[in-house]
């Protein structure tokens, strides 16, 4: 062999991002839609806490607006409803978004969601972000997207953050991502950064009634799938509302880059956060699962301690398990803010949190199974089985099976459908759904009983 071996150094995604960040921050006019920000009355600033660059409408906004820098959610009990306006439902939040985006200067077309089971891809089991539906072929230009520009209320699933569900208000195993996807092909340009900012700003201020002074836009860099580009997250009163990613460059192993022929916008907005933010309720789960929650509270004869939850809500953002260093200390701090003992606060939060976990997981189970997934031991089916069993255990621990029974349990799925019908329309009948849950329950119960027996034997 006379071929010479050559070692190529390949930078990781993180390294490529770290390399691009200072260059982007030093040249905002080159990478970010600064002219549009200025036109809308925003000025560039540096966050004193995290040192990121962001755009604000008033100097009263000192930090970038991220809850990590703000220390709390300040929209709780302090939302954006107009005088006399009733609470915005979860479904109405989608309708408002749709109305705004389909009447924008370059109107977007609303399309129906894709199945959550990502059969068109062999690298993932479930759709975890709206853009998954258009990857890889629409992004590479090999296939035309179903509409362009488009918006979509895509149901997504993520199973990596289960411990934060029920607490932070931001975390879900299944959630609806409002997507704005734009594919700018050579010779068929739609719009890019400036219009994207304008359209999002119009929706925030005109539809949601949020004053410009309350909005901050944070400059960032996005890297993924061999591409790179600027991204802009926007925050309102401590809550990240959306993230706009502009795929602009192709990156190489050494971090160098060239302009892409096809420039794609991928905007993701958590629908669950919109009704929460506008209503200013103490947790997003209340609005998202409105019907299912009411059903469960009624059936189990439970009440939410409003005083404690209202006091807890603003600080719930500090309980992100992945970020918090000393969880007990954080609970103590929250309790002292509310003026209660940590035990009293935990006592009020814990059972309701478990109810929220059940509601979150059952909604994800409803959509995944309805779309063709089955609980199993491998891959995506394993995730479904895992959360279903977690639900069964929480039900057992609290003695809720005694009150609900299987029939009452299956009714939760029907209530979820009511909450979702305003977005997705009537669910088609799925005759074996109840049977699938029952079989899983029997299997779980059997293995649960078996492990108890084994444990008792060992103890004896």
For Zn ion, the closer CB: 67 or 100:
67
- What is the token pair recorded at 138? 């629409």
Choosing from 44, 49, 202, 299, the residue that interacts with Zn ion (CB under 5 A) is 49
Q: Does 64 interact with Zn ion (rule: CB under 5 A)?
A: yes
User: Rounded to whole angstroms, how far apart are CA atoms 316 and 330?
Assistant: 10
Element (H, E) at 46: strand 43-46
Q: Considering only 55-63, 139-147, 384-392, 411-419, which stretch makes contact with Zn ion by CB under 5 A?
A: 55-63
Q: Does 218 interact with Zn ion (rule: CB under 5 A)?
A: no
- The nearest distance, CB 49 to Zn ion, in angstroms, is 4
- The nearest distance, CB 142 to Zn ion, in angstroms, is 40
For Zn ion, the closer CB: 26 or 50:
50
The values of phi and psi at residue 311, to 5°, are -75, -35
Sheet holding 150-157, edge to edge: 43-46, 53-56, 215-224, 227-236, 239-251, 257-270, 174-184, 150-157, 109-110
Name beta bridge partners: 126: 117
CB 410 within 8 Å of CB 299: no
Q: Considering only 59-67, 166-174, 264-272, 275-283, which stretch makes contact with Zn ion by CB under 5 A?
A: 59-67
Q: Does 50 interact with Zn ion (rule: CB under 5 A)?
A: yes
User: Rounded to whole angstroms, how far apart are CA atoms 147 and 348?
Assistant: 47
- The nearest distance, CB 161 to Zn ion, in angstroms, is 21
- The nearest distance, CB 63 to Zn ion, in angstroms, is 5
- The nearest distance, CB 220 to Zn ion, in angstroms, is 11
The alpha carbon torsion through 49, 53, 58, 63 (nearest 10 deg) reads -10
Please state the separation of Cα 105 from the chain's center in Å.
27
For the chain, give the longest Cα–Cα distance. Answer: 81
Q: Considering only 61-69, 335-343, 345-353, 385-393, which stretch makes contact with Zn ion by CB under 5 A?
A: 61-69
State the number of binding residues for Zn ion (CB under 5 A).
6
Query: What character string, x for contact with Zn ion (CB under 5 A) and - otherwise, covers 13-42?
Result: ------------------------------
- The nearest distance, CB 65 to Zn ion, in angstroms, is 7
User: Rounded to whole angstroms, how far apart are CA atoms 359 and 135?
Assistant: 30
Query: What character string, x for contact with Zn ion (CB under 5 A) and - otherwise, covers 68-107?
Result: -x--------------------------------------
Name beta bridge partners: 215: 236
Q: Does 264 interact with Zn ion (rule: CB under 5 A)?
A: no
Write the secondary structure of 220-285 as one string of H (helix), E (strand) and C (coil).
EEEEECCEEEEEEEEEECCEEEEEEEEEEEEECCCCCEEEEEEEEEEEEEEHHHHHHHHHCCCCHH
- The nearest distance, CB 274 to Zn ion, in angstroms, is 22
For Zn ion, the closer CB: 63 or 368:
63
Q: Considering only 44-52, 179-187, 234-242, 388-396, which stretch makes contact with Zn ion by CB under 5 A?
A: 44-52
- Which residues of the shown chain bind Zn ion in the complex (CB under 5 A)? 47, 49-50, 63-64, 69
């Amino acid at each position: 062999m006379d071929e010479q071996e050559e070692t190529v150094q390949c930078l990781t995604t993180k390294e490529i991002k770290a390399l691009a960040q200072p260059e982007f921050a030093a040249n905002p006019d080159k990478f970010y839609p600064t002219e549009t920000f200025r036109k809308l009355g925003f000025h560039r600033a540096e966050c004193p806490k995290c040192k990121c660059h962001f755009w604000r409408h008033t100097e009263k906004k000192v930090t970038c607006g991220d809850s990590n820098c703000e220390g709390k959610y300040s929209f709780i009990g302090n939302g954006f409803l107009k005088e006399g306006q009733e609470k915005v439902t979860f479904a109405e939040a989608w309708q408002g978004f749709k109305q705004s985006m389909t009447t924008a200067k370059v109107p977007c077309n609303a399309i129906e969601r894709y199945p959550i089971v990502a059969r068109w891809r062999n690298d993932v089991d479930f759709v975890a972000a709206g853009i998954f539906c258009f990857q890889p072929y629409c992004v590479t230009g090999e296939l035309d997207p179903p509409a362009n520009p488009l918006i979509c209320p895509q149901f997504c699933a993520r199973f990596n953050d289960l411990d934060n569900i029920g607490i932070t208000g931001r975390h879900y195993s299944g959630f609806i991502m409002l997507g704005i996807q734009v594919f700018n092909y050579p010779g068929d340009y739609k719009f890019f950064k400036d219009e994207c900012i304008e359209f999002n700003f119009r929706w925030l201020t005109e539809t949601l009634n949020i004053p410009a002074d309350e909005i901050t836009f944070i400059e960032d860099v996005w890297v993924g799938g061999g591409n790179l580009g600027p991204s802009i997250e926007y925050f309102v009163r401590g809550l990240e509302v959306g993230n706009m990613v502009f795929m602009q460059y192709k990156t190489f192993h050494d971090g160098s880059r060239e302009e892409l022929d096809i420039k794609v916008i991928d905007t993701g907005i958590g629908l669950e956060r919109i009704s929460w933010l506008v209503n200013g309720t103490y947790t997003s789960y209340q609005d998202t699962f409105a019907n299912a929650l009411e059903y469960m509270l009624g059936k189990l004869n439970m009440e939410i301690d409003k005083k404690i939850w209202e006091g807890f809500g603003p600080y719930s953002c500090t309980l992100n398990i992945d970020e918090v260093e000393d969880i007990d200390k954080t609970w103590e701090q929250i309790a002292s803010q509310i003026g209660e003992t940590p035990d009293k606060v935990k006592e009020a939060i814990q059972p309701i949190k478990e109810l929220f976990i059940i509601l979150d997981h059952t909604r994800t189970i409803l959509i995944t199974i309805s779309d063709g997934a089955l609980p199993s031991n491998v891959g995506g089916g394993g995730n479904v089985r895992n959360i279903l069993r977690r639900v069964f255990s929480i039900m057992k621990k609290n003695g809720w099976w005694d009150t609900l029974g299987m029939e009452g349990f299956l009714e939760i799925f029907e209530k979820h459908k009511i909450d979702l019908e305003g977005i997705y329309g009537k669910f088609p009948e799925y005759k074996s759904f109840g049977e699938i849950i029952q079989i899983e329950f029997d299997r779980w119960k059997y293995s649960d009983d078996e492990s108890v027996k084994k444990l008792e034997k060992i103890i004896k």
